[in-house]
Amino acid sequence: MFWSKSYSFNKIPDLSGKLAVITGSNTGIGKVCALEMARKNCHVVIASRTESKGLAAVDEIKQVTGNDKVEFMQLNLLSLQSVKRFAEAFKAKHDRLDILMNNAGVMMCPFGLSEDGLETQFGTNHIAHYYLTILLLPVIEKTPKARIVNVSSAGHAFSMLSGIDYDTINEEKGYSKVFQYGKSKAANILFTRELSRRLEEKGVDVYVNCNHPGVVRSELTRHIINQKSILESIYDAAMTITTEDGALAQLYLATSPEVESKKIKGQYYVPYGKPGWTVPFVKSEKNAKDLWDYSEKILKEKVPGYDGAPL
């Protein structure tokens, strides 16, 4: 609530001819991003798990914006096979991807495993989005000035205390929903920096960045809201921001002309479109490479026929 707004919806340029995929965009800040980008004539793909909710969001956005280029494609981030089906279906329909916004996520949920045996938070927030991005790279790389936005969190700071132990990352013993969330959000930043570095090394001009949306009042907090005291709830009502404000940092990275003119790559931004501070853990090149190697190892174990990232 104390940040000045350096970006706003009216600064989003015309996005005619551009195509965006936004994960988890049937609700929350993802839906706001989809709505505002569609309002600026972008072709938007609502990538979410539940068809009824996804189609409802498509209908609403079309009605509000008058933009008919809004479509739903099913994506369940708790299933690597679903991620693969989504990517294959997308590439069969489209030959370009200007903006990939890896927005969907879960926060501080009870311990659980995906259908691939991955812990829910780390599997959803990082591994599934890593896999999705790698699968979509062929169309991203051939789209001029394409952008990738990974939605992280200030919660990445918990990694400064816990680090990431890949040997125990999917185990229930010792599971802390708070620290696990922090690890997954640290992974978003590490992935951003390593992917950006590898694309630069390959000579591909893609703008890969990540952001902290702010402390947003949305469905993301559904696993912790019932545990709050009355005083904490009052505090949150005063200190949290709306989904509209929470969408601004990632909309800045996805749409602002400044990202190209200032050559913003591999960076972490905060509300409302400003460079942010990160803990030393996510600045480490070794930690970024270790995460990349672990992600590749997991995909080769879990996905039959996966040949590895083309980077």
Q: Which active-site residues does the annotation give? A: 181
Backbone dihedral angles phi then psi of residue 208, each to the nearest 5 degrees:
-105, 120
Q: Residue 295 and residue 300: Cα distance in Å, rounded?
A: 9
> Reading across the β-sheet that carries 147-151, which strands appear in turn?
70-74, 43-48, 19-23, 99-102, 147-151, 207-211, 268-270, 274-275
CB 192 within 8 A of CB 210: yes
Closest CA to 152 of 269, 245, 251: 269
Encoded amino acid at 191, one letter: F
Q: Residue 264 and residue 147: Cα distance in Å, rounded?
A: 10
Cα end-to-end span (Å), the chain: 40
Closest CA to 267 of 193, 158, 162, 168: 193
Q: Token match 């694309």: residue?
A: 199
What would the two tokens of residue 68 be?
A: 């008919």
What HEC string does 130-157 produce? HHHHHHHHHHHHCCCCCEEEEECCHHHH
What would the two tokens of residue 251 be?
A: 């909309």
Q: Token match 């189609």: residue?
A: 55
CB 254 within 8 A of CB 33: yes
Q: How many Cα neighbours within 13 Å face the side chain of 193?
A: 21
Encoded amino acid at 98, one letter: D
CB 39 within 8 A of CB 33: no
